[in-house]
Amino acid sequence: MIDLKQLHKSYYTEAISLHVLKGISLHIDSGEYVSVMGASGSGKSTLLNILGILDTYDSGEYYLDGTLMKNLSEKQAAHYRNEMIGFVFQSFNLIGFKNALENVALPLYYKNVSRKKRNIIAMELLDKMGLKEWAYHMPSELSGGQKQRVAIARAMISNPRIILADEPTGALDSQTTVEVMDVLTHLNKQGITTIIVTHEKSVADATNRIIHLKDGMIEYETRKENGVHNTYTYAAQNL
Ligand code: ADP
Ligand code: MG
């Protein structure tokens, strides 16, 4: 599903360049449940944004579902972003003046789906998230966990094959963190490749594979195999 080979990324600002990703090689199969951990500034969001085609990389290769993600036209990039990938953010990114249902339905508005049809689909998703009775409430009337579940429903509305979540529980207390992780775990069990960036060990432990980033490189990864956690170093992973 996702194949990275020696991926490099720098940010260039005026006289300064900042080398953020320093040769990331990583293979993620369809249906995997993966988390990315690492200190603040280690390049987690940069990596996730590249995976989500929200940002470009400088060198190396990124294959998504067998296609090299390089020199894409705006139309191609939008295709992958909108059809293949659902993005979830720490700050929910809901539109404050639209109710939950309208927020979830919004991606279908841009695909020219009729209001009636998009509201039916959005309501089904809200129902799956246990939020049916909140459909006509504004984001300001929802708890953090409810807001994030609305955001996940919105990410799911295009039937993506991959969910990318950048600190999805970063703004939540421990109770609502569990609530949101249950939803993500459930989606992964339905076959959606799920990649979560997190600071929280409890969140990472819900996944089957933890990638540890340090200074723009994969330091090691931990895999849950038959209930046992095994650690693999970066060098071993490259063999
Ligand atoms: P993390 O998500 O692990 O905290 P990021 O990927 O957000 O790390 O950032 C990695 C480094 O790149 C940080 O030093 C950050 O300040 C810098 N950075 C992130 N985005 C930009 C940008 N758009 N322009 C310049 N520097 C950036
Ligand atoms: Mg980040």
**Domain-located, residue 119:** yes
In this structure, the residue with its CA closest to atom 5 of ligand 1 is 43
The structure tokens 């094959």 sit at 161
- What is the residue-level pLDDT of the chain in tens, covering all 239 positions? 999 999 999 999 888 999 999 999 999 999 999 999 999 999 999 999 999 999 999 999 999 999 999 999 999 999 999 899 999 999 999 999 999 999 999 999 988 999 999 999 999 999 999 999 999 999 999 999 999 999 999 999 999 999 999 999 999 999 999 999 999 999 999 999 999 999 999 999 999 999 999 999 999 999 988 878 888 886 544 43
Pocket residue to mutate for ligand 1, from 12, 13, 40, 45, most atoms within 8 A of Cβ = 45
**Domain-located, residue 197:** yes
109 lies in which domain range? 29-57+73-238
pLDDT of residue 235: 56
Nearest CA to 159 among 107, 110, 95, 91? 107
**Domain-located, residue 12:** no
Task: Decide: 198 in ligand 1 pocket, CB within 6 A.
Answer: no
Task: Decide: 43 in ligand 1 pocket, CB within 6 A.
Answer: yes
**Encoded tokens for 151:** 């955001």
Ligand 2 centre distance from Cα of residue 136 (Å): 31
Q: What is the DSSP string of 34-62?
A: EEEE--TTSSHHHHHHHHTTSS--SEEEE
Q: What is the DSSP string of 80-119?
A: IIIIIEEEEETT----TTS-HHHHHHHHHHTTT--HHHHH
Measure the CA–CA gap between 36 and 209, rounded to whole angstroms: 9
**Domain-located, residue 231:** yes
CB–CB of 198/180 below 8 Å?
no
The domain tally of the chain equals 1
Contacts of 200 (CB under 8 A, 6+ apart): 169, 177
Partners of residue 34 on adjacent β-strands: 195, 209
Nearest CA to 150 among 187, 111, 104, 190? 104
**Domain-located, residue 68:** no
Ligand 2 centre distance from Cα of residue 198 (Å): 8
- State the pTM of this model: 0.94
**Domain-located, residue 128:** yes
Q: Which helix H or strand E contains 128, and what residues bound it?
A: helix 115-128
Task: Decide: 52 in ligand 1 pocket, CB within 6 A.
Answer: no
Task: Decide: 130 in ligand 1 pocket, CB within 6 A.
Answer: no
CATH number at residue 90: 3.40.50.300
Per-residue b/e over 20-31, b at no fewer than 16 CB within 10 Å?
A: bbebbbbebeee
The structure tokens 């939803």 sit at 183
**Domain-located, residue 66:** no
Chain centroid, CA 181 distance in Å: 13
**Domain-located, residue 22:** no
